[in-house]
Homo-oligomer: A and B are copies of this chain.
């Protein structure tokens, strides 16, 4: 732990980085995967479980929390950590992404965004300054600038306009955030799938000397190779000594390939959402528990997993729970999936330290490729 927000590199292996962020609320081992705690809860999990899986930091969604229960209410209740009973660091997004994807009647100007809540239609305003204010009320440890993220494909002109606006908002967020030694405000590189725009965005943000940099506007509809190409172009433009966070990404394969390109932090709803829909992530790739092949299978998802959800329950039972719509099905599969993601991150960190990251990535991908255990005879 530290009084200040600090990032140090422990090892590198090619472009892959093994690092550590220290903050007053705890240390984040990178590369890190942040479970998503949308509305002050990592869905269907107790926070103790999330911590015990090895997650050092979770993500909170500003948009959801500002609407319900409201940032002011969370602040009055002692902040998001106290409210949700998560003692470690929390990163919050700016709210802008969900305003664009979830809110109604959005109107975007230089000043910010006005919109109506998707829950009750109430009108809200979100400026760069208000986003930082809300994240401060939540007492978030790592805060994100407000940005405009365009879905892909988009025209280069739209992408450029949004990227430039995001840069101006980054400046305003930096001023609004001010000097908070134990906390950080990250800028967000935009630029869609246009290499020049990515470079310009990264260089401009680098010049602002922020405490960390996110890469946004990816995994928004483009093929994986476009995303990776953008990382190849963007990461070298970012300062080596600052953490890099790829927002909203992704599959285990996305993570492996992005770490190889220099990314330190990830978040994604995939493990939690997939768990609620009957899908398990395992060493042997994805396993769909809705599939009838599991109905009579007494074997667990993965007998070698350290996670009780993967090790102690039969596939037949998980299949039954999923097919019956029982809450325990989502509870167990979410637990399994977050466990798998954290195991993957631990494997990544160990491999980088051992200087064998590319081998680790190949072995991991090969194991996924071999697929699930065969049916019982």
A residues bordering B, Cβ < 8 Å?
39-41, 43-46, 68-69, 73, 76-78, 83-85, 295-296, 298, 312-314, 316-317, 319-321, 323-324, 326-328, 330-331
Residue of B nearest to A45 (CB): B328
The answer for the CA separation of A313 and B298 in the assembled complex, in Å, is 37
How close is A174's CB to chain B, nearest CB, in angstroms? 31
Instruction: Give the residue of B73, B314, B316, B321 whose beta carbon is less than 8 angstroms from that of A296.
Output: B73
Instruction: Give the residue of B68, B73, B320 whose beta carbon is less than 8 angstroms from that of A68.
Output: B320
The 24 listed contacts between A and B (C-beta, < 8 Å) are: A39-B320, A40-B317, A40-B320, A40-B321, A41-B326, A43-B326, A43-B327, A43-B328, A45-B328, A46-B331, A68-B320, A69-B295, A69-B323, A73-B296, A76-B296, A77-B298, A77-B316, A78-B298, A83-B314, A83-B320, A84-B317, A85-B312, A85-B317, A327-B331
Instruction: Give the residue of B43, B313, B324 whose beta carbon is less than 8 angstroms from that of A39.
Output: B324
Residue of B nearest to A76 (CB): B296
Instruction: Give the residue of B44, B77, B312, B317 whose beta carbon is less than 8 angstroms from that of A328.
Output: B44
16 additional contacts (CB under 8 A) given A39-B324, A69-B319, A78-B298: A40-B317, A40-B321, A41-B321, A41-B327, A41-B328, A43-B326, A46-B328, A68-B320, A69-B295, A73-B295, A73-B296, A76-B296, A77-B317, A83-B314, A83-B320, A84-B317
Point out the residues of chain B lying under 8 angstroms from A39, CB to CB.
320, 324, 326
Given A68-B324, A298-B77, A327-B330, CB of A316 within 8 Å of CB of B83: yes
How close is A308's CB to chain B, nearest CB, in angstroms? 9
Point out the residues of chain B lying under 8 angstroms from A40, CB to CB.
317, 320-321
Point out the residues of chain B lying under 8 angstroms from A298, CB to CB.
77-78
The answer for the CA separation of A328 and B45 in the assembled complex, in Å, is 7
Given A44-B328, A76-B296, A324-B39, CB of A316 within 8 Å of CB of B69: yes
- Shortest Cβ-Cβ A-B pairs, 7 listed: A44-B327, A41-B328, A69-B320, A41-B326, A39-B324, A77-B316, A77-B298
Residue of B nearest to A40 (CB): B320
The answer for the CA separation of A124 and B250 in the assembled complex, in Å, is 46
Point out the residues of chain B lying under 8 angstroms from A41, CB to CB.
321, 326-328
The answer for the CA separation of A324 and B119 in the assembled complex, in Å, is 10
Point out the residues of chain B lying under 8 angstroms from A43, CB to CB.
326-328
The answer for the CA separation of A53 and B58 in the assembled complex, in Å, is 30
How close is A119's CB to chain B, nearest CB, in angstroms? 9
How close is A64's CB to chain B, nearest CB, in angstroms? 8
The answer for the CA separation of A220 and B39 in the assembled complex, in Å, is 39
Point out the residues of chain B lying under 8 angstroms from A68, CB to CB.
320, 323-324
Point out the residues of chain B lying under 8 angstroms from A78, CB to CB.
298
The answer for the CA separation of A44 and B319 in the assembled complex, in Å, is 16
